[in-house]
Amino acid sequence: MKAVVSKQPGGPETLEMVELDSPKPGPKQVVLEIKAIGVNFPDSLIIVDRYQFKPDRPFSPGGEVAGVVKEVGSEVTSLKPGDRVIGSCGWGGMREEIAIEADRCLAIPDEMPFDEASAFILTYGTSYYGLKRRGDPKPGETLFILGAAGGVGVAAIELGKAMGLKVIAACSSQEKVDFCLSKGADVGLIYPMGDLDRDQQKELSNQIKEVSGGGVDIIYDAVGGAYAEPSLRALNWEGRYLVIGFPAGIPKIPLNLTLLKSCDIRGVFWGAWVRQFPGEYETDVQELFDFYKDSKIKPHVSKTFPLDQSGDAIQHLMDRKATGKVVVLTE
């Protein structure tokens, strides 16, 4: 089977396609024949050793896959060959086959195609956990999303609307704003690219207050960097600031701002929560599949790449060219 691997730390151009033996399942594992691999921002970090997990090399990037069960381990009773599943592997997905723990697989609804399935659980799971369990949303409140046209951002738009929130989508271009409006955002806002100077930060803060009619109740920050503080300055009294990710860098925040607004800055670490609270995760997964069946959410796969161009797929994300999701297909 073919596998795209990282043999040394480096950018997407250092990934290599190699031929490997098919894996065998351990007792609690299944082997999946992979059809599609969702590309996520952590793929760009893990190959340069800047992610929280540092797998031994050679390894394949690719944290979530969709495919068909080929073989099951001796102790697996929950799955059988032929089942269509999503596999949350963390890494190791950019290849034709993978051995994965059975309890890290979810059966795919019949109506969900493989490309959408591979782009589903990490983004919607994160945004649902963030908004539902960390955001304390109340219908009618205003949700402000930084990086709204990206993977987790678009999921936050759709879920925010499903929760009855007024959604303000912020991103770096008119094209991305238009895309967010087409996905249900009520208002769009364009911010400049690059490190914002003091004046640009002030302007961003004022823009947010202006389009929201005074301030926002929940901030979903999937960008970080120089965008964080001006956004926090536009948060309402007792607002919630959700820390999701840092493609633009890890910001430092003056703590006095939280006192002045009696507001909360809340961390959101979906993967760790899933491992600690499997029962609650199962509830959320079922609710997300119900939203999908009711057409309230739908992964937007804007571009696909063949397996041998997996590096280009990751580069596409890093270049901020993607809207919604990028997916690698094995055939």
Q: Are 187 and 161 in contact (CB under 8 A)?
A: no
Q: Which of 215, 195, 202, 296 is nearest to 262 (CA)?
A: 215
Q: Does 133 bind ligand NAP (CB under 6 A)?
A: no
Identify which range of 38-46, 71-79, 80-88, 211-219 contacts ligand NAP by CB under 6 A.
38-46
Q: Does 41 bind ligand NAP (CB under 6 A)?
A: yes
- Give the residue with the Cβ less far from ligand NAP, 102 or 274: 274
Q: Which of 99, 131, 244, 263 contacts ligand NAP by CB under 6 A?
A: 244
Within positions 155 to 194, which residues make up the interface with ligand NAP, using CB under 6 A? 171-172, 176
Q: Which of 258, 292, 278, 293 is nearest to 129 (CA)?
A: 278
Compute how many other C-beta atoms are within 10 angstroms of the C-beta atom of residue 231.
25
Identify which range of 68-76, 79-87, 95-103, 241-249 contacts ligand NAP by CB under 6 A.
241-249
Q: Which of 12, 87, 137, 245 contacts ligand NAP by CB under 6 A?
A: 245
Within positions 48 to 87, which residues make up the interface with ligand NAP, using CB under 6 A? none
Q: Are 228 and 251 in contact (CB under 8 A)?
A: yes
Q: Sketch the per residue contact string, 258 through 287, with ligand NAP: x for CB under 6 A, - otherwise.
A: ----------xxxx----------------
What pairs with residue 16 in β-bridges? 5
Identify which range of 100-108, 110-118, 303-311, 314-322 contacts ligand NAP by CB under 6 A.
314-322
Within positions 196 to 235, which residues make up the interface with ligand NAP, using CB under 6 A? 222-223
Residue nearest to ligand NAP (CB): 150
Strand 187-190 to 166-171 pairing: parallel
Torsions phi, psi of 38, nearest 5?
-75, 135
- Give the residue with the Cβ less far from ligand NAP, 31 or 180: 180
Q: Does 127 bind ligand NAP (CB under 6 A)?
A: no
Q: How far apart are CA 128 and CA 124, in angstroms?
A: 6
Q: Which of 145, 152, 159, 234 contacts ligand NAP by CB under 6 A?
A: 152
The CA–CA distances, whole Å, from 162 to 115, 137, 144, 147, 156 equal 23, 11, 15, 19, 10
> What does the DSSP assignment read for 124-177?
HHHHHIIIIIIS---TT-EEEEETTTSHHHHHHHHHHHHTT-EEEEEESSHHHH
* Residues lying near ligand NAP in the complex (CB under 6 A): 40-42, 122, 126, 147, 149-153, 171-172, 176, 222-223, 244-248, 268-271, 317-318, 320, 322
